[in-house]
């Protein structure tokens, strides 16, 4: 939804009728995960994608039916059925999508997304009130009506948990919110602020990593103590460029499990203090640039500072996957690939010659 909400809001302000189709569940393999959304208006204009082109044509026809009768519906496309084959879903999995007319709470959702405020969209996708929609903020404030008060309370609790973890899920409940019964299925899509990518060192490699980090959805900060190098002119695409000592900046920065920290200075007076601090945070990725010899000297300095072996194991150095990169752009790709591989738990090897599914089943993380 994040990638289409501005277009959808323009249609809404122009008085267009809009249907939103959202991937709510994926079985086995699919090009895009839960939360991917596509919108269609009464003129046949389309925003977004849910499958990379496999089912969009058929989905437009379904959206036209929803525009005509106003009734939300749950549809599925999979390689195992004739419908999936006819629309070209050849990636070996099944996707379940929920189509609904633009809901009354959409303006509030759009405003929260503009402000980057944590919020969850909760939609009843199966049950007596299919299509009912509720927004839940991080502090538990709710907008909209979802079934009955008992069901709404239970979904609200789950939505707050999803916001805390940044996850998107489908949950099943009894008609009055009973956790171990069935009758109602709800889709909970948590929107959380962009994760942070902190790049320490205003070097040529940093410029390429800024571009790729932004493309991957990170909020990117470039930090360097050298004011001559830490300038907006050199890094126009960064969200912020800060002239400060790296460890002093990191001591005050927001860091959580989704944060990526890349130390590209390979200068011990910068590297050692910031890595010592980074290793005591919850950052999901900590990488440091430099040769193996540079890293061995850096490790020795960190040990002398009291950093434990368990903490040192978290440093990805030399930084990036081994893909033979040499240029700043190629190195940025290698670093980004390692960040993704570590986040998803994949080994980062070649898909060719491997076995098993390409896309692993896991709770979708925003």
Is pLDDT of 364 > 60?
A: no
Using a pLDDT cut of 70, give the percent of the chain over it.
Answer: 91
Token pair listed for 181: 């019964």
Residue pair 133/101 in contact (Cβ under 8 Å)? The answer is no
pLDDT of residue 29: 63
* pLDDT at res. 348: 83
Q: CB of 50 within 8 A of CB of 59? A: yes
Closest CA to 222 of 253, 193, 194: 253
> For the segment 168-204, what is each residue's pLDDT rounded down to a tens digit?
999 999 999 998 888 999 999 999 888 999 999 999 9
Higher pLDDT, 348 or 329: 329
Which residue blocks in 170-245 are alpha helix, DSSP H?
204-215
Contact 162, 140 (CB under 8 A): no
Q: Where are the alpha helices (DSSP H) in the chain?
A: 5-13, 56-69, 82-87, 106-115, 149-165, 204-215, 246-252, 268-278, 292-304, 309-312, 328-344
State the greatest distance between any 2 C-alpha atoms of the chain, in Å, as a whole number: 71
Q: Tell me what pLDDT residue 42 has.
A: 96
pLDDT of residue 357: 61
The Cα 287–Cα 338 span in angstroms is 9
* pLDDT tens sequence across 140-152: 999 998 989 999 9
Whether residue 286 is predicted with pLDDT greater than 60 in this model: the reply is yes
Q: In whole angstroms, give the CA distance from residue 89 to residue 147.
A: 34
Residue 217 has pLDDT above 80, yes or no: yes
Give me the pLDDT at residue 251, please: 97
Beta carbons within 8 Å of 214's beta carbon, 6+ residues apart = 220, 237, 238, 239
Tell me what pLDDT residue 135 has: 97
- Dist CA 182 CA 78 (whole Å): 24
Helix 268-278 and helix 292-304: axis angle, to 10°?
A: 60
8 Å CB contact between 179 and 173? yes
Per-residue pLDDT, 69: 95
Write down the pLDDT at residue 180: 81
Per-residue confidence at 30, pLDDT binned at 50, 70, 90? low
Full set of structural domains in the chain with CATH: 5-101 (no CATH), 106-191 (no CATH), 196-344 (3.40.50.720)
How do residues 194-215 score in pLDDT, each as one tens digit? 899 999 999 999 999 999 999 9
pLDDT category of residue 38 using cuts at 50, 70 and 90: very high
Each residue of 84-127: pLDDT tens digit? 455 555 555 788 999 999 999 999 999 999 998 999 999 999 99
Give the global pTM: 0.67
């Amino acid at each position: 939804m994040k990638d289409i909400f501005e277009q959808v809001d323009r249609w809404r302000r122009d008085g267009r009728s809009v249907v939103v189709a959202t991937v709510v569940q994926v079985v086995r393999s699919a090009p895009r995960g839960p939360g991917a959304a596509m919108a269609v208006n009464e003129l046949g204009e389309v925003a977004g994608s849910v499958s990379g082109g496999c089912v969009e044509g058929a989905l437009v026809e379904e959206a036209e039916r929803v525009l005509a009768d106003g009734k939300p519906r749950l549809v599925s496309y999979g390689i195992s059925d004739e419908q999936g084959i006819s629309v070209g879903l050849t990636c070996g999995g099944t996707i379940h999508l929920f189509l609904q007319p633009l809901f009354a709470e959409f303006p509030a959702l759009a405003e929260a997304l503009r402000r980057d405020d944590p919020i969850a969209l909760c939609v009843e996708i199966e049950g007596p009130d299919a299509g009912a929609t509720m927004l839940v903020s991080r502090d538990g404030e709710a907008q909209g009506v979802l079934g009955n008060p008992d069901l709404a309370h239970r979904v609200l609790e789950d939505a707050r948990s999803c916001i805390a973890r940044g996850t998107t899920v489908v949950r099943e409940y009894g008609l009055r919110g009973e956790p171990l019964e069935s009758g109602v299925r709800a889709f909970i899509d948590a929107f959380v602020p962009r994760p942070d990518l902190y790049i320490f060192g205003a070097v040529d490699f940093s410029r390429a990593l800024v571009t790729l980090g932004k493309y991957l959805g990170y909020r990117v900060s470039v930090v360097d103590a050298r004011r001559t190098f830490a300038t907006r002119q050199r890094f126009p695409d960064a969200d912020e460029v800060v002239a400060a000592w790296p460890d002093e900046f990191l001591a005050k920065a927001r860091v959580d499990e989704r944060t990526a920290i890349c130390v590209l200075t390979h200068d011990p007076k910068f590297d050692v203090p910031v890595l010592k601090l980074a290793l005591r945070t919850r950052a999901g990725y900590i990488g440091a640039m430099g040769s193996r010899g540079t890293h061995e000297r850096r490790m020795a300095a960190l040990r002398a500072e009291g950093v434990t072996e368990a903490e040192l194991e978290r440093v990805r150095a030399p930084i990036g996957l081994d893909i033979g990169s040499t240029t700043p752009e190629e190195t940025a790709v290698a670093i980004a690939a390692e960040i993704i591989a570590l986040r998803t738990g994949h080994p980062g090897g070649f898909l060719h010659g491997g076995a098993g599914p390409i896309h692993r089943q896991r709770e979708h993380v925003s």
